[in-house]
Structure 1
Amino acid sequence: MQIRDLPYPDPGVPDARSGPRFLLWLGRNQLGGQLRSLAWGLLHFGSIAGLPYMVGVAVEAVLDRSGGRLALAGALIVLLGIAIALGDTMLHRTAVTNWITAAARVQQLLARKTAALGSALTRRVAAGEVVAVSTGDVEKIGWFVEALSRFAAAALTVVLVCVGLLVYQPALGVIVALGIPVLALAVLPLLPRATRRADHQREKAGRATELASDTVAGLRVLRGIGGEELFLDRYRTASQEVRTAAVRSARMWAVISAIQVLMPGLLLIAVVWQGVHLAREGRVTVGELVTVYSAIMILNYPLRHFEEIAMAYSFSRPSAKRAARVLSLQRTAESTVSRSRDGSERGEAMAPVMAQPPADDSLPPTGDLYDPATGLLAPAGRLTAVVCGDPDEAGRLAERLGGHPAFDDAVDMPSVRLGDIPLDDLPLAIARTAVLVQDKDPVLLSGTLRELLDVPASGAVNPEEALDAAQCSDVLDALTQASAGDDPMTAHLTERGRSLSGGQRQRLALARSLVTDPEALVLDEPTSAVDSHTEARIADGIRHLREGRTTVVLTSSPLLLDRAERVVFLADGEVAAVGAHRELVHTEPRYRAVVTRETDAERVVDRDTDFLTELDIEETA
């Protein structure tokens, strides 16, 4: 795999059981790149290791006054220099390729997992942690994959040099052969502490990132309540904790680096001391002493990669652990256990009207939208409004209807069915085509209005119809004035539509959902930020444009409820009543309390008033 071939056609199925297993899986999937990097690394380090021998030969030639051997040694040194340059260049090229391709693979895996999980991802993983994994953690994982082949080449070179010195000059080579393992292993006792400090630093950094993300997301609210300084102080504290943790981690790595410098120096002193004695006794020549001395000096270079791989692993292990945690999350939990639900929908059947699966597997199924967990039935082709006694339940229900059950409920929640097909059994692309959920807080991406509405759609609804149904005329006027042009479709929207009001963003998001024209459309509070007059027109627009299509609106707005063909009231997580809005207001006290925001005291007064009215009627009779 080369950089120009990215992205991967298929990044594969990762081994996400643990961080080390994930790193091993990445290495196995880049075996070809690792071997190429290893080969160039051996050429580079091996050529460097050959220089001391050539220097020794040159010194001996000078002492023996042999011009031929000196010329040969010089030519060989030139060739080794060329090999060093070539090996270093190609090693860097292949190593960086391994880094980038590994990072790209991880990013593709994270992107696919994020798309599969949708909004349910942040129920298990903090948004700041997701950001940290997809940015800094990806780089550190790529660093370890890139450093692995360089370390392998350096380690093989060290072994070859030790063996070569034992053969070349046994009396000094044995000191080197015994000292090099001590050098390589000297820092091992410090690595656990360094790793813990690195983990602590990453944890503090993730917390600071999460706090910054939450602060930016709620900046408008914070300004409204004057809470900027409070959150700024919290971020300052978190930032200082990151700095303190980073300094403590850097100190430990500084100690490790110092040991990596000190130990070779001590080995060099021992070799020189022993070499001088051997030279006095005539057991070694000057050239041999220079060769051994030069070899030890040059071994400092490959030995540095022992420190690098230790550092890369210490930093990448927690990063791989976080990435594996995200990648191990599942969109749904396969379960055949369902909650028992008592009662019925006011005389209607609890099971949906079944529809046959489509003949073409690429087409979405049709039929009623049915949630076995709550007993909610949204008949095909009708506008159904859903009122939840618990506001949080509305969000969880919207996710379930879209095939994204909350993780806390996934173990015992059966799959929502469209017709007789469970959404969990459908390929993700087909499920998304069949059911579209618009969140309570939809996101608008930057770009032109035309690009915003250029979404996968059936083609039955054009952008103009969707914008008209969502009552976006004032939005179009504002965009036209801002862009100083005649065509609002070419107007540029800023990031998340920050230049627009909340109601304008909400209506543009609704228009985008209407353009898609899915088999079943689920809208979670689509008009919470607009005024009542606009809300009434939007309700009429949705009903007209979605005529004959399954639409579910989760709302407590009387204007939307009054225009729905069917209203379902959910209490304590199950269907409590079904009927028309005006009927339920009079017959279901809990429904009336949610829709009219009626307090307990008001309900008591209403009940007393009704009782007194009945007494007056009886006395008159």
Structure 2
Amino acid sequence: MQIQDLPYPDPGVPDARSGPRFLLWLGLNQLGGQLKSLAWGLLHFLSVSGLPFCVGFAVQAVVDRSGARLTLAGGLIALCGLGIAVGDTMLHRTAITNWITAAARVQQLLARRTAQLGSALTRRVAAGEVVAVSTGDVEKIGWFVEAVSRFTAAALTIVFVCVALVVYEPALGIVVAVGVPVLALAVLPLLPRATRRADFQREKAGRATELASDTVAGLRVLRGIGGEDLFLDRYRRASQEVRRAAVRSARMWSMISAIQVLLPGLLLIAVAWHGVHLAREGRITVGEMVTVYSAVMILTYPLHHFEEIAMAYSFSRPSAKRAAGVLALERATDSKGSREAEAPTGDLYDPSTGLLAPAGRLTAVVCGDPDAAGVLAERLGGHAAASSDLPSALLGGVPLDELPLDSARGAVLVQDKDPVLLSGSLRELLDVPSSGGVSAEDALAAAQCGDVLDALAQGSLDAEDPMDARITERGRSLSGGQRQRLALARSLVTDPEVLVLDEPTSAVDSHTEARIADGIRSLRQGRTTVVFTSSPLLLDHADRVALVHEGEVAAVGVHRELVHSEPRYRAVVTRETDDEAPAHDRRHVKQLNELDDLEDIEETA
């Protein structure tokens, strides 16, 4: 796999049982790239390690005054230099390719899993954690995958050089063969502590990222209540905790690096002292002593890769564990499904609560617990957690978790109470998969987005058409009500068979809300629509209203009947007690009559 071939046509099915298994799966899926990197790494390291033998051969040729052998030594040194240059260049090229392609594979897997889970992802994993996994963790995982082949080449080179030294000069070679493994394994006792400190640093960094993300998302509210300084102090404390954790982690790794410098130095001293002693006794030649000394000095280069692989694994293991944790998440609806690809039509029914949304009707659902309402809305869309024991919702009598993922999502669209607007133009925002039955203009009109278009046109100097005006990330330049109406328009454009809306008008004023209710009813005529709300204006436009109390449908009817006959319904919708009910009934009837009069005036105009 080359960089120009990215993205992968199919990134594969990861082994997400644990972090190490995930790393192993990544390495096996890039076996070809790993073998290429290993081959070039062996050429590079062996060429580097061959220099001491060439130098020792040349020194001995000078001592013996042999011009032929000196010429041969020069040719061997030039050949080693060529091998070093070519091997290093190609090693870097293949290693970086392994890094980038591994990171790209992980990012594709995370993107695919995020798309499958949808809004359920951030309810099971913190948003800051998702951001950290898809950015910093991906880089660390790629680093380890890239470092494996270089480490393997360095380890094989060290074994080869130690064997060669034992054969070349046993008296000194045995000292090197015993000392080098000690150097390579000396830092192992420090790795667990270094890993724990690195994990602690990563945990602190994830919390700081999550805090920063939440602060930016709520910046408008913070400014409104004057809370910027409070959250700034919180983030400052969090960032200082990250800094202290990073310093503690760096101290441990600096100690490991110091050991990697100290112990090879002691080995060099031992080899030099023993070699001089043997040379004085005439047991070895000067050239042999220079060869062994130079070989030990050169071995410090591949030995550094032992430290690198230890660091790479220590940092990548928790990163791989977090990535595997996200990739292991499942939705209740199977990705392939056991039914035919074509989605069924008919009534939408939830066996757990007994909620029925008749086909082609506008059904409103009143639920006193907002969290329970959100869970029920997700279950109606087939997005329930895989760990849930509740049965799947049925569409036309077919369980949604038996449908292929694409069919289930094409049939039922769920807009949660906090929809996200991606950055880009308004035209791009509304360019979503749809039936083609609803135009962008009709959807914007139904969602009462006229003032939003005017605001976008005024705020964009280079866009003549409001549809080409830019929307900032998450729509932060717009008010909460404007963002909510644009998200509603996007949902209406898709024109799904079933549309589930969770509090779609909670941030708009009553007059706009009444017009939106009428627009939804008109635009969704003949389509199944479920609205979770407690707004009397939306409830009065519904064909059918269901009260969900303590996990079950407690009452079904129309709004004007339920508000008089069902105390539990009245308590949720009006937030008034039974003692206040008579007075409220009169006020409520008056408000509805005024609303009817307003609608008659608008129709006449």
Taking structure 2 as the reference length, the TM-score comes to 0.93
In 2, are the aligned partners of 1:523 and 1:552 still within 8 Å (CA)? yes
2:475 maps to which of 481, 491, 497: 497
Aligned amino acid, residue 444 of structure 2: L
Q: Size of the alignment, in residue pairs?
A: 582
Name the residue aligned to 1:515.
493
Aligned amino acid, residue 26 of structure 1: L
Looking at structure 1, the residues matched to 458 and 126 of structure 2 have their Cα atoms a distance apart, in angstroms, of: 39
Aligned amino acid, residue 248 of structure 1: R
Find the residue that maps to 2:14 and give its secondary structure: coil
In 2, are the aligned partners of 1:45 and 1:84 still within 8 Å (CA)? yes
Report the CA distance shift for 1:230/1:406 in structure 2 as closer, same or farther (over 3 A): farther
Find the residue that maps to 1:41 and give its secondary structure: helix
1:472 matched to 2:449? The reply is: yes
Following superposition, the deviation at residue 486 of structure 1 comes to: 4.1
Name the residue aligned to 1:613.
none
**Equivalent residues in 2 for 1:594-605, closer than 5 Å:** 594-599=572-577, 602-603=580-581
Name the residue aligned to 1:225.
225
**Equivalent residues in 2 for 1:292-331, closer than 5 Å:** 292-331=292-331
Name the residue aligned to 2:84.
84
1:402 matched to 2:381? The reply is: yes
1:564 maps to which of 539, 542, 546: 542
Looking at structure 2, the residues matched to 474 and 203 of structure 1 have their Cα atoms a distance apart, in angstroms, of: 44
Report the CA distance shift for 1:145/1:606 in structure 2 as closer, same or farther (over 3 A): closer
Following superposition, the deviation at residue 306 of structure 1 comes to: 0.4
Name the residue aligned to 2:142.
142
1:421 matched to 2:412? The reply is: no
Following superposition, the deviation at residue 297 of structure 1 comes to: 0.4
1:538 maps to which of 516, 521, 525: 516
**Equivalent residues in 2 for 1:321-470, closer than 5 Å:** 321-332=321-332, 361-406=340-385, 410-470=387-447
Aligned amino acid, residue 299 of structure 1: L
Aligned amino acid, residue 113 of structure 1: R
Name the residue aligned to 1:578.
556
Which stretch shows the higher mean deviation, 294-303 or 499-508?
499-508
Following superposition, the deviation at residue 479 of structure 1 comes to: 2.2
Which stretch shows the higher mean deviation, 528-537 or 573-582?
528-537
Name the residue aligned to 1:340.
none
Find the residue that maps to 2:212 and give its secondary structure: helix
After superposition, the C-alpha distances for 1:411-464 in whole angstroms (9 at most, x for unaligned) are 321111111221111121111110011111211112111111111000111111
Looking at structure 1, the residues matched to 573 and 375 of structure 2 have their Cα atoms a distance apart, in angstroms, of: 19
Find the residue that maps to 2:316 and give its secondary structure: helix
In 1, are the aligned partners of 2:341 and 2:404 still within 8 Å (CA)? no
After superposition, the C-alpha distances for 1:290-340 in whole angstroms (9 at most, x for unaligned) are 000100000000000000001111111111111111111111289xxxxxx
Aligned amino acid, residue 278 of structure 1: L
1:100 matched to 2:100? The reply is: yes
Find the residue that maps to 1:563 and give its secondary structure: coil
CA-based RMSD of the aligned residues comes to: 1.8
Following superposition, the deviation at residue 363 of structure 1 comes to: 3.0
Find the residue that maps to 2:580 and give its secondary structure: helix
In 2, are the aligned partners of 1:585 and 1:592 still within 8 Å (CA)? yes
In 1, are the aligned partners of 2:333 and 2:403 still within 8 Å (CA)? no
Aligned amino acid, residue 375 of structure 2: R
Looking at structure 1, the residues matched to 169 and 318 of structure 2 have their Cα atoms a distance apart, in angstroms, of: 45
Report the CA distance shift for 1:222/1:477 in structure 2 as closer, same or farther (over 3 A): closer
Name the residue aligned to 2:592.
none
Looking at structure 1, the residues matched to 277 and 368 of structure 2 have their Cα atoms a distance apart, in angstroms, of: 92
Which stretch shows the higher mean deviation, 362-371 or 296-305?
362-371
Which stretch shows the higher mean deviation, 296-305 or 553-562?
553-562
In 2, are the aligned partners of 1:198 and 1:249 still within 8 Å (CA)? yes
Looking at structure 2, the residues matched to 423 and 378 of structure 1 have their Cα atoms a distance apart, in angstroms, of: 15
In 2, are the aligned partners of 1:461 and 1:514 still within 8 Å (CA)? yes
1:185 matched to 2:164? The reply is: no
Report the CA distance shift for 1:465/1:45 in structure 2 as closer, same or farther (over 3 A): same
Following superposition, the deviation at residue 197 of structure 1 comes to: 1.1
In 1, are the aligned partners of 2:340 and 2:403 still within 8 Å (CA)? no
In 2, are the aligned partners of 1:366 and 1:418 still within 8 Å (CA)? yes
Aligned amino acid, residue 539 of structure 1: A
Which stretch shows the higher mean deviation, 364-373 or 294-303?
364-373
**Equivalent residues in 2 for 1:10-159, closer than 5 Å:** 10-159=10-159
After superposition, the C-alpha distances for 1:201-255 in whole angstroms (9 at most, x for unaligned) are 1111111111211222222222222222222222222211111111111111111
In 2, are the aligned partners of 1:388 and 1:569 still within 8 Å (CA)? yes
Name the residue aligned to 1:551.
529
Following superposition, the deviation at residue 604 of structure 1 comes to: 9.2
1:593 matched to 2:593? The reply is: no
Following superposition, the deviation at residue 118 of structure 1 comes to: 1.2
Aligned amino acid, residue 497 of structure 2: E
Looking at structure 1, the residues matched to 294 and 464 of structure 2 have their Cα atoms a distance apart, in angstroms, of: 76
Following superposition, the deviation at residue 361 of structure 1 comes to: 3.8
Following superposition, the deviation at residue 158 of structure 1 comes to: 0.2
Following superposition, the deviation at residue 259 of structure 1 comes to: 0.8
Name the residue aligned to 2:597.
none
Looking at structure 2, the residues matched to 54 and 396 of structure 1 have their Cα atoms a distance apart, in angstroms, of: 73
Aligned amino acid, residue 424 of structure 1: D
Find the residue that maps to 1:221 and give its secondary structure: helix
Aligned amino acid, residue 197 of structure 2: R
Following superposition, the deviation at residue 15 of structure 1 comes to: 1.1
Name the residue aligned to 2:237.
237
Name the residue aligned to 2:198.
198
In 2, are the aligned partners of 1:497 and 1:505 still within 8 Å (CA)? yes
Looking at structure 2, the residues matched to 204 and 497 of structure 1 have their Cα atoms a distance apart, in angstroms, of: 29
Aligned amino acid, residue 507 of structure 2: A
Following superposition, the deviation at residue 88 of structure 1 comes to: 0.4
1:488 matched to 2:488? The reply is: no
Aligned amino acid, residue 102 of structure 1: A
Aligned amino acid, residue 187 of structure 2: V
In 2, are the aligned partners of 1:123 and 1:406 still within 8 Å (CA)? no
Which stretch shows the higher mean deviation, 111-120 or 546-555?
111-120
In 2, are the aligned partners of 1:57 and 1:73 still within 8 Å (CA)? yes
Following superposition, the deviation at residue 501 of structure 1 comes to: 1.9
Aligned amino acid, residue 418 of structure 1: L
Name the residue aligned to 1:272.
272
Taking structure 1 as the reference length, the TM-score comes to 0.91
Name the residue aligned to 1:350.
none
Report the CA distance shift for 1:489/1:411 in structure 2 as closer, same or farther (over 3 A): closer
Looking at structure 1, the residues matched to 564 and 52 of structure 2 have their Cα atoms a distance apart, in angstroms, of: 97
Looking at structure 2, the residues matched to 111 and 224 of structure 1 have their Cα atoms a distance apart, in angstroms, of: 35
Aligned amino acid, residue 533 of structure 2: T
In 1, are the aligned partners of 2:567 and 2:578 still within 8 Å (CA)? no
Following superposition, the deviation at residue 499 of structure 1 comes to: 2.3
Looking at structure 2, the residues matched to 508 and 248 of structure 1 have their Cα atoms a distance apart, in angstroms, of: 48
Looking at structure 1, the residues matched to 186 and 419 of structure 2 have their Cα atoms a distance apart, in angstroms, of: 55
Following superposition, the deviation at residue 483 of structure 1 comes to: 2.8
Looking at structure 1, the residues matched to 131 and 402 of structure 2 have their Cα atoms a distance apart, in angstroms, of: 30
In 1, are the aligned partners of 2:349 and 2:357 still within 8 Å (CA)? yes
Which stretch shows the higher mean deviation, 573-582 or 207-216?
207-216
Which stretch shows the higher mean deviation, 540-549 or 490-499?
490-499
In 1, are the aligned partners of 2:534 and 2:572 still within 8 Å (CA)? yes
Aligned amino acid, residue 376 of structure 1: L
Find the residue that maps to 2:189 and give its secondary structure: helix
Aligned amino acid, residue 449 of structure 1: L
Looking at structure 1, the residues matched to 312 and 158 of structure 2 have their Cα atoms a distance apart, in angstroms, of: 20
Aligned amino acid, residue 400 of structure 2: L
Unaligned runs of 5+ in 2: 586-605
Aligned amino acid, residue 229 of structure 2: E
Aligned amino acid, residue 164 of structure 1: A
Looking at structure 1, the residues matched to 582 and 183 of structure 2 have their Cα atoms a distance apart, in angstroms, of: 84
In 2, are the aligned partners of 1:396 and 1:406 still within 8 Å (CA)? no
